[in-house]
Amino acid sequence: MSAAIEIQSVTKRYGALTVLDDISLTITPGEFVVFLGPSGCGKSTLLRMIAGLEAVDAGEIHLGGRRIDTLAPGQRGVAMVFQSYALYPHMTVAKNMAFGLENIGLEAAEITRRVTEAARVLEIDHLLDRKPAKLSGGQRQRVAIGRAIVKEPMAFLFDEPLSNLDAALRGRTRLELAQLHQRLGATMIFVTHDQVEAMTLADRIVIMNGRKIEQIGTPMDIYHRPKTRFVAEFVGSPAMSMLPVAAVTAESVEIAGLGRIAAQLPGLSGFDAAGAVLGVRAEDAHVLPADQSGLPFTISVVERLGDRTLLYGRLGTVCDLVVEDTGRSTAVAGQTVSVGFNPAALHLFDAAGRACDGLGG
Amino acid sequence: MAESYRRSSWKNMLFVAPYLTAFVTLLVFPLLWGMWLSLNKVDLFSGAKFVGLKNYARVLADPVFAQAVKNTALFVAVSVPSLVALGLFLALALNKTTRGSAFLRGLFFSSSILSVTIVTLIWRVVFIPGDGLLAVLFEAMGWTPIGFLSTKGWSLFSVGVATVWWCLGLPMMLFLAALQQIPADLYEAAALDNASKWRVLTRVTLPSIRSTIMMVAVIQIVMQFQLFGQAQLMTNGGPAGSSRPIVMYIYETSFVRWEIGMGAAASEILFAIILVAAMVQYWLSTRKEEA
Ligand SMILES: Nc1ncnc2c1ncn2[C@@H]1O[C@H](COP(=O)(O)OP(=O)(O)O)[C@@H](O)[C@H]1O
Ligand SMILES: [Mg+2]
């Protein structure tokens, strides 16, 4: 039942405001794709255009080889789970799930079979006769998912479905969604601004920002090989530190006002260091033993997480940096230590924010 | 804490005192006084004389009162459903953000701010024989003219038309307010669920505003049972009392014939009728919701 989705040069405008500009994207059948980006970047708008709830101003959308952007929402073969669940408040859970099937004139026996089956899978059989007002947030969530499942759509669309759940339930539901995807094998698009949800659920992540797609890739791609400075800073916690760059060679980078550090940047030629920055993740920076020399780092906050310790502070007087240390770190705030970096895991970005080395490319 | 709270609590009464004063003097006191009056024979000269339930017996035996009750009940039975249906229809049609519908909303509501005198004046221009709008129209079409205000049956109908036109604004506004409370994502879910316009109306929209429909119906029942001004000014209850409502009977008994006790008794009966009608309506609609 799964189908490919093809988004071709789609543009969306609200009056003079362009929200999405020439977006293209191909999703393979059965893939779990997550749209990730800051609030207001147009994730929901793109999803709603696929669902048919927003008009497409330019471009085309195809599902399973059929052009759908000109069809009514109900004709497209997609099911959507809303952030607010959007359950019909005056219908029982069973009626909520059956409504869409009744509308297409499916025979009663088949409707009952599908609703019962979905209720069993989602463990909501005992709630079928209740109205949504008598359900908890997590139960409503399940009903909303059930309402999507019974339609047996070619693609599922989720718009931040977990954001109204408490932390524990969110974690559990995330896991169940992953299992649901495995069992159904359906194409799924999931919108979120939460990078943990994106990293754990996605086959591929689509990072969006400012009307554009910044990068499309597997979670590991996105994390280890960010193509832009935005992606590098948006994904990962704590956020990647950015060090100002004065000059670059294939073997070293000179940090402005501090000195050279070793780096592996093969194939780098004619790089313009003006305005460039070097991105370093906390786990790729480390405190050096007293007998080795590195860059001076003054610790201002020590965050002990048990298995590891995060040191927040300033590198010389130049810029902020986060350094990861072991769980048994003896570092204290106010101390100045010297730090070194993993030369193979540095991310160089030019003034325009594009990744400029063998790693990020 | 609890002690100081209790000691200060009488002061809290000060906050409700202004409203309570108005409520007691303007509503509770007249209500009780009316009940007391209805048990007395009262006229202008001799003061009150206790007669028990005699006034009620006389009112209930009066064929003029029976006719007024029948007229009023018929009037309510036709005008209230019309008001609810038309108000709902207009609200559904005008529930848009376009400038045109905003203008029409204002237009349909504007009749509500007119006084009853103006309303009846306008509708007399429509209904009056000879030079009235309808009379001219009938003449132009070559139909036999109808004496809308002076024919049995038509007179109450004419009062009803004027009333619906006058009172339509409030139901429409209440329905519009209720419609705007319905979350937009319900309609989006329904669109994805392939629901036809009719199914959306009957399964999403109407169930969402049923408590408002109910409230509008009760308000209109209470208001329309008190029909007076339009009938007084348009038909004066005629012909032959065929458009005389209960309130007009009360007015004529109390202030034309000066049988104030009897008028008070008729008022109490009207009060009871309205109470029962509103309760029945309320009971009917809540019972359906449970099921
Ligand atoms: N109906 C609308 N009219 C005008 N602007 C809108 C409308 N809907 C969304 N927007 C704008 O489009 C942008 C993207 O919105 P949205 O897709 O909801 O963002 P996201 O889901 O990524 O948080 C936002 O800047 C928002 O203000
Ligand atoms: Mg959104």
Q: How far apart are CA B150 and CA B155, in angstroms?
A: 6
If you write DSSP's letter for every residue of B30-50 in order, what string do you get? HHHHHHHHHTEEEETTTEEEE
Q: Which CATH number fits domain B53-290: 1.10.3720.10, 2.102.10.10, 2.60.40.420, 3.40.190.80?
A: 1.10.3720.10
Give the start-to-end residue ranges of the domains of chain B: 1-38, 53-290
Q: How many CA atoms lie within 13 A of B171 on its CB side?
A: 31
Cα–Cα distance list, A341 to A275, A323, A347, B195 (Å): 21, 9, 11, 60
Q: How many contacts, defined by CB atoms under 8 Å, are there between A and B?
A: 61
Instruction: Give residue A13 CA to ligand 1 midpoint distance, Å.
Output: 10
Q: Which numbered atom of ligand 1 lies nearest the CA of A48? A: 17
Per-residue pLDDT reduced to its tens digit, A146-164: 999 999 999 999 999 998 8
- pLDDT recorded at residue A273: 81
3-state secondary structure (DSSP) of residue A350: coil
Which amino acid is residue A140, in one-letter code? R
The model's pLDDT over A74-107, given as tens digits with 9 standing for 90+, comes to 999 999 999 999 999 999 999 999 999 999 999 9
Chain A, nearest residue to B183 by Cα:
A86
Residue holding tokens 């009853």?
B116
DSSP assignment of A80-123 equals EE-TT----TTS-HHHHHHHHHHHTT--HHHHHHHHHHHHHHTT
At B120, which amino acid appears? T
Model pTM score? 0.83
Option in B185, B193, B208 nearest A74 (CB): B193
> Can you tell me the distance from the alpha carbon of B75 to that of B80, in angstroms, rounded to the nearest whole number?
8
Assess whether pLDDT exceeds 90 at residue A205: yes
Mean pLDDT, range A172-197, rounded to an integer: 92
Centroid of chain to Cα B163:
9
How is residue A306 annotated by DSSP? S
Is A86 close to B186, i.e. CB distance below 8 A?
yes
What percent of chain A has a predicted confidence (pLDDT) above 70? 98
Which residue from A minimizes the CA distance to B195?
A103
Query: Could you count the other beta carbons within 10 Å of the beta carbon of residue A9?
Result: 11
> For residue range B256-271, what is the model confidence (pLDDT) as tens digits?
888 888 899 999 999 9
Nearest to A76 by CA among A96, A56, A97, A98: A56
Say if residues A297 and A339 touch (Cβ distance below 8 Å). Answer: yes
Nearest CA in chain B to A148: B193
A39 touches chain B (CB under 8 A): no
Of the candidates A79, A69, A67, the residue with the CA atom closest to the CA atom of residue A1: A79
Strands A32-36 and A204-209: parallel
CATH 2.40.50.140 residue window(s) in chain A: 238-349
Residue A359 banded pLDDT, cuts 50, 70, 90: very low
Angle at alpha carbon of residue B157, lines to B154 and B160, rounded to 5°: 155
Query: Degrees (nearest 5) of the Cα angle B252, B253, B258?
Result: 105
A71 touches chain B (CB under 8 A): no
Q: Where exactly does CATH 3.40.50.300 map onto chain A? A: 5-229
Residue nearest to atom 5 of ligand 1 (CA): A14
Instruction: State the DSSP code for B256.
Output: I
Q: Measuring CA to CA, which residue among A144, A158, A23 is closest to residue A93?
A: A144
**Chain A interface disruption, residue of B193, B206, B289, most A CBs within 10 A:** B193
**Residue A56 main-chain phi, psi, to 5 deg:** -95, 125
User: Six-digit token pair at B6?
Assistant: 């209790």
> For residue A357, what pLDDT band results from cuts at 50, 70 and 90?
low
Query: How many CA atoms lie less than 13 Å away from A248 in the CB half-sphere?
Result: 27
Q: Which residues pair with A219 in a beta bridge?
A: none
* Protein residue closest via CA to atom 3 of ligand 1: A14
Q: Which atom of ligand 1 is nearest to the CA of A191?
A: 21
Q: What are phi and psi of A57, to 5 degrees?
A: -80, -30
Question: What is the CATH number that goes with domain A5-229?
Answer: 3.40.50.300
Q: Which 8-state DSSP code applies to residue A72?
A: -
Distance from the Cα of A99 to chain B's closest Cα (Å) equals: 7
Average pLDDT value for residue range A252-266: 86
d(CA B274, CA B287): 20
A274: burial class by Cβ within 10 Å (0-12, 13-18, 19+)?
A: exposed
On chain A, the residues whose CB falls within 8 A of the CB of B185 are 82, 84, 86
In b/e form, how buried is each residue of B55-83, taking b as 16+ CB within 10 angstroms? bbebbeeeeebebbbebbeebbebbbebb
User: Given CB atoms, is A89 within the 8 Å cutoff of chain B?
Assistant: yes
Is the distance from CB of B50 to CB of B269 less than 8 angstroms? Answer: no
CA distance A149 to A140: 14
For residue A133, the tally of other CB atoms under 10 A from its CB is 9
DSSP assignment of A240-267 equals: PEEEEEEEE-SSEEEETTTEEEE---TT
B58-108 pLDDT, tens digit each: 889 899 999 999 999 999 999 999 999 999 999 999 998 889 989 998 998
Ligand nearest to the CA of A45: 1
The pair phi, psi for residue B148, each rounded to 5°, is -60, -35
User: Is there a contact between A75 and B194 if contact means CB atoms under 8 Å apart?
Assistant: yes
Q: What count of Cα atoms within 13 Å lies in the side-chain half-sphere of residue B59?
A: 27
The per-residue pLDDT for B291 is: 46
Q: Which fold has domain A238-349?
A: OB fold (Dihydrolipoamide Acetyltransferase, E2P) (2.40.50)
Measured in whole angstroms, the distance separating CA A19 from the mean position of its chain's CA atoms is 19
Q: Are A302 and A332 in contact (CB under 8 A)?
A: yes
Contacts of A66 (CB under 8 A, 6+ apart): none
Q: What is the mean pLDDT of chain B?
A: 88
How close B146 gets to chain A, by Cα (Å)?
48
CB–CB of B263/B254 below 8 Å?
yes
Task: Please tell me if residue A88 touches chain B, with a CB cutoff of 8 Å.
Answer: yes
Average pLDDT over chain A, rounded to whole? 91
Which residue's C-alpha comes closest to atom 25 of ligand 1? A40
In tens, the pLDDT along A118-154 reads 999 889 999 999 999 999 988 999 999 999 999 999 9
Q: Do A53 and B188 touch (CB under 8 A)?
A: yes
Question: Could you give the C-alpha distances from B101 to A155, B58, B200, in angstroms and in order?
Answer: 38, 53, 21
Q: Which residues contact B90 (CB under 8 A, 6 or more apart)?
A: B108, B168, B172, B175
